[in-house]
Chains A and B, each alone.
Chain A
């Protein structure tokens, strides 16, 4: 896997998305971008190479599904996390779960 792993965080609650971005960027080997709407998410997927998408809060179920489907059309190996909790509580577990045992998530010093 190429490093850093590009991560897209998408959600309507901007403050929470930006907090998640800051938290993700604290992990070694991860680099996050944000999107606050469906079209912005499509643009990031189209132009960038996100390997991991974190679905944050405030999006409709239909929008969440379109973002997931669009991403998988672009790259069927893309990992998608439907995030719960809104902060650091579950984030590390969620990322470790999808990236698998080969990826050891360390906080950057």
Chain B
């Protein structure tokens, strides 16, 4: 019997710093909810909106696989490994923080906000050598199907991380259905609706709802509205 955990969008933690509004699916910074710590190796799912020209000054990270997915606007990144880059919708960025990395993230445009997801996954090994990567995905490859955007394998489609995790995104027209098969037995899948409404494994989900699924091998999803977008994160549960 599959296990499910439903996180409705309006039950997420909220931090409003004026220049930054962040919704936290799991406990983060000043938001602490012992019932919302993690889903398996998925520890952070932050849904951030940053005002024009504002951002996060230089700050450190270590021992975490950090994935950023821009949803709107341009996000400028600089780090202590010498990387300077701008990521925008259609891109995915990954940092393996390992032994330690410093970076900053700013909204590159003064006149418009930037929206992005920041996702933290526990690594399968502590103190790896820090690394950074970003790629531009072909968004057409996710029209009415699931597109792999992350895996554990360097040679596979999308970026890779130090964890047995697979991420997929899809844009679906109304009533289009798909199924997902778990890549590694025992893994769970956290489903996050970016836009529109879906039915996932028989459960109706609205925009920004999250659904954790575990103890299952496969499940179905269907778009209930048009112009939808969904993110699936398969991660180890132990």
Q: Which of B30-38, B84-92, B160-168, B215-223 lines the interface with chain A? A: B30-38
Does any Cβ of B come within 8 Å of A40's Cβ? Answer: no
Give per-residue flags for B127-163: 1 if the beta carbon is below 8 A from chain A beta carbons, else 0: 1000000000000000000000000000000000000
Does any Cβ of A come within 8 Å of B27's Cβ? Answer: yes
Name the one of B27, B61, B62, B63 contacting A93, with C-beta atoms under 8 angstroms.
B27
Within 8 A of A (CB), among B97-133: 97-102, 120, 122, 126-127
Kindly state the separation between the CA atoms of A58 and B43 in the bound complex, as whole angstroms: 21
Kindly state the separation between the CA atoms of A2 and B62 in the bound complex, as whole angstroms: 31
Please name all residues of chain B whose beta carbon is closer than 8 Å to the beta carbon of A86 when the two chains form the complex: 60-64, 97, 100-101
Please name all residues of chain B whose beta carbon is closer than 8 Å to the beta carbon of A60 when the two chains form the complex: 127
Within 8 A of B (CB), among A68-109: 82-90, 92-93, 96-97, 101, 105, 107
Tell me how many residues of A have a C-beta within 8 Å of chain B: 28
Q: How large is the interface on B (under 10, 10 to 19, 20 to 34, 35 or more residues)?
A: 20 to 34
Does any Cβ of A come within 8 Å of B203's Cβ? Answer: no
Please name all residues of chain A whose beta carbon is closer than 8 Å to the beta carbon of B99 when the two chains form the complex: 12-13, 57-58
Residue ranges of B at the interface with A (Cβ–Cβ < 8 Å): 27-30, 32, 34, 37, 43-44, 59-64, 97-102, 120, 122, 126-127
Residue ranges of A at the interface with B (Cβ–Cβ < 8 Å): 12-13, 15-16, 19, 56-61, 64, 82-90, 92-93, 96-97, 101, 105, 107
